[in-house]
Structures are given as structure tokens and as C-alpha cells.
Structure 1
Amino acid sequence: MHKPELAAEIADKTGLSKEKAMEVITAFTDQVSAAAARQEDTVLTGFGTFSVRERQAREGRNPQTGATIKIPASKSVGFKPGKVLKESVR
């Protein structure tokens, strides 16, 4: 499901216009991004947790040449599903 489809589903379920639902989704994603930039988790009880994860520096291989390369440490955003979300997939 893409963002416009999600907005349409939310609009149907809540009675909001599609444009207003799109604004709500955009506001949500903006706030999750802002929290991640501040190194804060976003917890939606039952649904899941968005958190910043740190990757350590490591060695890798160039697939074309086989040469060893150093991959620097980095940060990434991860998502851990909550109990309700996990159970809905079963």
C-alpha cells in the first residue's frame, strides 16, 4: 500500500477528506523523522517502535574485485513490530 492509498483508506474510515488524511500522514512521518534525528524512539503501543540503530564499522568485500574494503560506522532507523501487529499477520 502506498501513501495515497493509505490516505484514502484513512479518509474512508474516519470521515476526513483525502487531503486532510494525507496531511495527517505527512505530519506523522515528519514527527517520526524529527524524533529519530534527536535520537529518540517513537513507540506506538501494540503497533511497534521506530528506533535509531547504530551499525559498527566493519570490513566488507568489493563484489567485482574481491578486494577488502572498510565500511564505516553508521546509523539507521529500525522498526520493531508490536504484539498486536505481529498477531495480525499470523
Structure 2
Amino acid sequence: MSKAFITQVIQDATGCTGVAASRAAGELISAIVEEMKKNGGFTLPSFGTFSVRKTKARKAMNPRTGEPVKVKASKTVRFKPSPNLRKAV
């Protein structure tokens, strides 16, 4: 799914212009990102839950050279689908 796809769905559903739909899609994505930064997660009922998880620093291996590489600690986003979504798919 892309921002263009979300824009097209908004435009088709509301009958607004492409510029207004693009702005709405951008604002929606920004609001979701801000909510995840603020609360560490975001839930869409009947769809699923997005959560921010911390990963620890670790050692990995470069697949081309086989050299060990240090990977820094960071954050990643996880998604857990709702039971309704699992049934639908």
C-alpha cells in the first residue's frame, strides 16, 4: 500500500480533488507516526495494532564477506493483526 493508493481511496470515497485527498493522506500518515512516537503504539479497531519495540545491540554477519558486523540498538515497528483481519484474509 502506498500514499498514492490511500490518496486514490480518499478521493474516490469523498469526491474531493486529488490535491485535497493527497493532503488528507499525508496528514493521516503524519498523525499515525506522531501517535506512535508519543504513545509507543497505535490501534486500528478491526484491523490490528502497530507497536514500537526496542532492539538490543547485537553482532551480525555480512553475507557477502562473512565478516562480523556490529548492529546498533534501535527501534522497530511491529504489527499484530486483529482476529477480524485474520478471518478476512
User: Which of the five TM-score ranges fits, normalised by the shorter chain?
Assistant: 0.7 to 0.9
> Structure 1 residues 12, 88: closer, same or farther in 2, change over 3 A?
same
> Structure 1 residues 10, 87: closer, same or farther in 2, change over 3 A?
farther
The answer as to whether partners of 2:10 and 2:25 remain within 8 angstroms in 1 is no
Q: Note the aligned Cα RMSD (angstroms).
A: 2.0
Q: How many residues are paired up?
A: 89
The answer as to whether partners of 1:36 and 1:77 remain within 8 angstroms in 2 is no
C-alpha deviation, 1:61, in angstroms: 1.1
Q: TM-score, normalised to structure 1's length?
A: 0.76
Give the equivalent residue in structure 1 for 2:12: 12
Unmatched runs of 5 consecutive residues or more in structure 1: none
The share of aligned pairs that are identical, in percent, is 35
Deviating beyond 4 angstroms after TM superposition, the runs of 4 or more aligned structure 1 residues are none
* Structure 1 segment 1-90 matched on structure 2, within 5 A: 1-89=1-89
C-alpha deviation, 1:39, in angstroms: 4.4
Query: Once the two structures are superposed, what CA deviation does each residue of 1:8-37 show, in whole Å capped at 9, x if it has no partner?
Result: 222212333332222221111101111222
